[in-house]
Amino acid sequence: MSKKFWVVQQLNWHVYGRHCQDHEEDNGLPVGVFASQKKAEAFCQALEEQARRELSPVQFFDELEQASNLDEEVIVERLQSLGLQAPASYEKKSSRRTYTRLDWNGWWDQCSPDLTEEQRVAIWQLFSRLQFYKVVATEEESE
């Protein structure tokens, strides 16, 4: 007979300059094991909330699509509806063309010290693809 339990895993992120990237092939680091899925989910959520209070969402993407399913224009509109300034834009040149990008790192550095908890939570909701912990169900075979 097998026994089911839930493991909370910290997902692996690797730093590249000012940005980080997750490694989906990694299973993550186990940080808790629970006999109850409800307790595992609550622990996972508490860890996720703590990480989001301490980290910048903009350090986890080079391209916005990596962090959000929303268009940049929609994100900027929502930031402004929260009473925040839009990120400044700058020109980036490649060998083929010049294009305009938003300075997400500069924006975060400027606005993050004064964010309310409500604003911080709302910002992280915009970057819904970023996750630091997950719950995985598993079974232990008994002999």
Average pLDDT over residues 50-76: 90
pLDDT digits (tens, 9 = 90+) for 107-133: 999 999 999 999 999 999 999 989 899
| pLDDT at 19 (0 to 100) | 47
User: Is the pLDDT at 1 greater than 50, yes or no?
Assistant: yes
CA distance 57 to 127: 7
Q: Give CB contacts under 8 A, 24+ apart, made by 107-112.
A: 107/58, 108/56, 108/57, 108/58, 108/59, 110/85, 111/84, 111/85, 112/56
Instruction: Report the alpha-carbon distance of residue 128 to residue 69 in Å, rounded.
Output: 7
Alpha-carbon dihedral angle through residues 106, 112, 115, 121, given to the nearest 10 degrees: 100
Distances (CA, A) of 60 to 55, 83, 124, 136: 10, 23, 12, 23
pTM for the full predicted model: 0.80
